[in-house]
Amino acid sequence: MLNRLEAQSPDALLALIKLHAADERPDKVDLGVGVYRTGQGDTPVFAAIKRAEQALVDTQESKSYLGPEGDMGFVNALMPYIFGTDATMGGRISGMQTPGGTGAVRLALALAQRAGMERLHMGTPSWPNHKQIIDDLGLELAAFGHAKADGTANLDAVLAAIRGAAPGDGVLLHGCCHNPTGIDYAADDWDAIGDAIAETGIFPIIDTAYQGLGEGLEEDAAGLRSVLAKVPEAFIAYSCDKNFGMYRDRVGAFYIMAGEGESETLNTAFSNANALARASWSMPPDHGAAAIRLILRDRAMTEVWLDELDQMRSRMRQVRERLAEAGVAGGVDLAPLGSQNGLFSTLPVTKEQVVRLREEHGIYMAGSGRINIAGLTMDNIEKFIGALADVTG
């Protein structure tokens, strides 16, 4: 039976990690893997998480099963950060914990499919796993160009996709810090997108994996909130793996927003999400979400976390400002990176130029031209700009 399987190509970024590890040049630069790094190149456990983990060790009395919805204390404590002061929008929102943002995206798409969605509109390029999940579920992907050549969002394309969609279609949007382009919608764009979704009745699914890594926790939620204020129903997939540095602990949440006064619909949708979760992973891993719950319920620990998030954001902003200041490097204009957000930007470089950067300069990045902004430090940024000028000039 196994002979029927076709070999799958390995994850390109994982292959890049191996190549980088084998490179003996001391000044090699890793811009590939999507994790935050400090100015010293580390991805440390947050101090707030260390504290909360210690508290968990000291106080947790049982590791007995929770339900498919996971740690509801965590799910609820997160809601004011995502949805604002009226965190349930008058009882219209319910959520559950998921294994990372990936679990949340998977659940969102599977539940939308169960509710009849067959086609999903999505701006490309996008996080590569979006397409893998869409394909695995057998959904039809209707792609539109997300980015314009000048490094800004292609609003006309997203509006055309929404307005041209059939009733029952869905649209997947990145809430902030678009991966891989760093290109977010402006407040006016979000308004127009929300209006178009409300007019056509297309179903919005918003994937927020980097809240707080762009312009600030509140600012990064503004687009999502503006859409939710205009539409009757939506799904939200959320990851805590970047903004709490929990990557391998797999902490995420999935939220359902139903129409006003539709509490029965909300309960029914929630029961279906529960059933899908039960059939997929039964229940999410507890540890990371329990630690985050402790942080969010404790003022002092919350302050420590907020401070760490501020430091991450300002470091990435500093790198972006230096890149933008450099202007044109060879054939690449770095100026747009100054107004983009989050961990990633995508450079207009060819695959051959990416190979030259790696072989001749020890700079590792995805073949798509995506760079991890946090892989750059004040020590290696000039080398990177020079190398880019060299291979693209």
Q: How far is the CB of 61 from ligand PLP (least distance, A)?
A: 28
63: annotated active-site residue: no
30: annotated active-site residue: no
Task: Kindly tell me which residue out of 93, 117, 196, 209 binds ligand PLP, with binding defined by CB under 6 A.
Answer: 209
Q: How far is the CB of 30 from ligand PLP (least distance, A)?
A: 16
Q: Does 340 bind ligand PLP (CB under 6 A)?
A: no
In the block, tokens 């968990």 appear at: 56
CA-to-CA separations, 255 to 83, 105, 340, in angstroms, rounded:
10, 10, 27
Stretch that binds ligand PLP, among 46-54, 63-71, 96-104, 193-201 (CB under 6 A): 96-104
Which C-beta is closer to ligand PLP: that of 92 or that of 174? 174
Active-site pick, 169, 184, 241, 242 = 242
Task: Kindly tell me which residue out of 97, 154, 179, 345 binds ligand PLP, with binding defined by CB under 6 A.
Answer: 179
Angle subtended by helix axes 381-392 and 351-361, to nearest 10: 130
Which C-beta is closer to ligand PLP: that of 97 or that of 179? 179
Q: How far is the CB of 262 from ligand PLP (least distance, A)?
A: 27
127: annotated active-site residue: yes
Q: Does 239 bind ligand PLP (CB under 6 A)?
A: yes
Q: Which of residues 24-63 bind ligand PLP (CB under 6 A)?
A: 34
**Proportion of the chain in helix, strand, coil states, percent, rounded to 5:** 50, 15, 35
Q: Which residue is nearest to ligand PLP (CB)?
A: 100
Stretch that binds ligand PLP, among 47-55, 74-82, 100-108, 145-153 (CB under 6 A): 100-108
Q: How far is the CB of 102 from ligand PLP (least distance, A)?
A: 3
* Beta carbons of 118 and 139 less than 8 angstroms apart: yes
* Beta carbons of 70 and 289 less than 8 angstroms apart: yes
Which C-beta is closer to ligand PLP: that of 131 or that of 297? 131
Q: Does 184 bind ligand PLP (CB under 6 A)?
A: no
Angle subtended by helix axes 47-59 and 299-326, to nearest 10: 150
Q: Within 13 Å, how many C-alpha atoms sit on residue 13's CB side?
A: 16
User: Which residues lie closer than 8 Å to 178 by C-beta, 6 or more apart?
Assistant: 146, 184, 341, 342, 344
Site string for ligand PLP, 286-325 (x = CB under 6 A): ----------------------------------------
Residue 153 φ/ψ region, left for φ over 0, alpha for ψ in the -120 to 50 degree band, beta for the rest: beta
Site size for ligand PLP, by CB under 6 A?
Answer: 13
Angle subtended by helix axes 217-228 and 72-83, to nearest 10: 90
Q: How far is the CB of 251 from ligand PLP (least distance, A)?
A: 7
Query: Can you tell me the distance from the alpha carbon of 361 to that of 382, in angstroms, rounded to the nearest whole number?
Result: 12
In the block, tokens 């695959």 appear at: 351
User: Which residues lie closer than 8 Å to 33 by C-beta, 6 or more apart?
Assistant: 13, 16, 17, 372
Stretch that binds ligand PLP, among 101-109, 279-287, 347-355, 385-393 (CB under 6 A): 101-109
Indicate the pairing of strand 251-257 with strand 93-99.
Answer: antiparallel
Residue ranges in contact with ligand PLP by CB under 6 A: 34, 100-102, 105, 127, 174, 179, 207, 209, 239, 241, 252
Instruction: Enumerate the active-site residues.
Output: 127, 207, 242
